Amino acid sequence: MNIEAIYEEAGALLKGHFLLSSGNHSGFYLQSAKVLENPKTCEKLSKALADMIRAANIEASLVCAPALGGVIAGYELARALGARSIFAERENGVMTLRRGFAVAKGQRVIVCEDIITTGGSAMETADLIEAHGGVVAAFAALANRGFCRREGGINADASCKLDANVPLFALADFAFPVYAPDRCPLCAAHGKPIKPGSRPTSSAPQSEDR
Ligand code: ZN
């Protein structure tokens, strides 16, 4: 399966000259919610992710996703694994389980995101699961931005916040070059960068913020 082609076809992989929320520039931008717009695409990707997790003999009866970005990917992964699906959300800035969601003591849980950037929200969710007595069996994401090391992928960057002792499963690495504004080769060729999501026709740029 050509993951990059699927993302590009869905309008989830933008190419051009972009201003990221970090202030850096890039020739690529992932708008990962776009690949989840089509349930059939999401189902196909989630099944492939579930196959990778099963092939590694990882067992889990619960998938927990950090809201908002991870909810759909987590739900579809749970369906593909035959597991239950819950999500964590921020209350006064702190990741919390609400709505009656619960984790059984010793329950094996996969923390699932749509995309792992540095893994901050996923790691907070993993800490929350452990605080509730659960065991984090794996991290999962449809796409990996390339800062963390997925099973079979490129090496982790120092900015990765995930627990290195817990495996990360993702379908592909999207490790784009990122440039400081004063060293961006795209500025010379293309002028000012576009901030994705600043135009009313596109949705909010959540992916690069996490
Ligand atoms: Zn630039």
Domain containing residue 54: CATH number: 3.40.50.2020
- Report phi then psi at 29, rounded to 5: -145, 135
- pLDDT value at residue 197: 64
- The alpha carbon of 184 and the centre of ligand 1 are apart by a number of angstroms equal to 4
The residues, ordered by sequence, that sit 6+ positions from 40 with a Cβ below 8 Å of its Cβ are none
- pLDDT value at residue 201: 45
Beta bridge partners of 179: 25
- Identify whether 197 is part of a domain: no
* 210 residues of the chain, pLDDT tens digit each: 899 999 999 999 999 999 988 899 999 999 989 999 999 999 999 999 999 999 999 999 999 999 999 999 999 999 999 999 999 999 999 999 999 999 999 999 999 999 999 999 999 999 999 999 999 999 999 999 989 999 988 787 888 999 999 999 999 999 989 999 999 999 988 789 999 865 444 444 444 444
- The alpha carbon of 22 and the centre of ligand 1 are apart by a number of angstroms equal to 13
- The alpha carbon of 185 and the centre of ligand 1 are apart by a number of angstroms equal to 6
- The alpha carbon of 16 and the centre of ligand 1 are apart by a number of angstroms equal to 10
- Identify whether 200 is part of a domain: no
- Identify whether 206 is part of a domain: no
- Identify whether 109 is part of a domain: yes
End-to-end CA distance of the chain: 26
- Identify whether 86 is part of a domain: yes
- Identify whether 199 is part of a domain: no
Residue with tokens 């579809």: 76
State how many domains the chain has.
1
Rounded distance, CA 113 to CA 70, Å?
4
- The alpha carbon of 110 and the centre of ligand 1 are apart by a number of angstroms equal to 37
10 Å CB burial of residue 72 (0-12, 13-18, 19+) is buried
- Identify whether 153 is part of a domain: yes
- Identify whether 18 is part of a domain: yes
Q: Measure the CA dihedral 129/132/134/135, to 10°.
A: 60
User: DSSP strand E in the chain: where?
Assistant: 13-19, 25-30, 62-66, 84-91, 94-96, 108-116, 135-144, 168-173, 178-179
Domain of residue 39, residue span: 3-190
- The alpha carbon of 129 and the centre of ligand 1 are apart by a number of angstroms equal to 40
- pLDDT value at residue 95: 97
Taking only Cα atoms into account, the Rg of the chain, rounded to an integer number of angstroms, comes to: 17
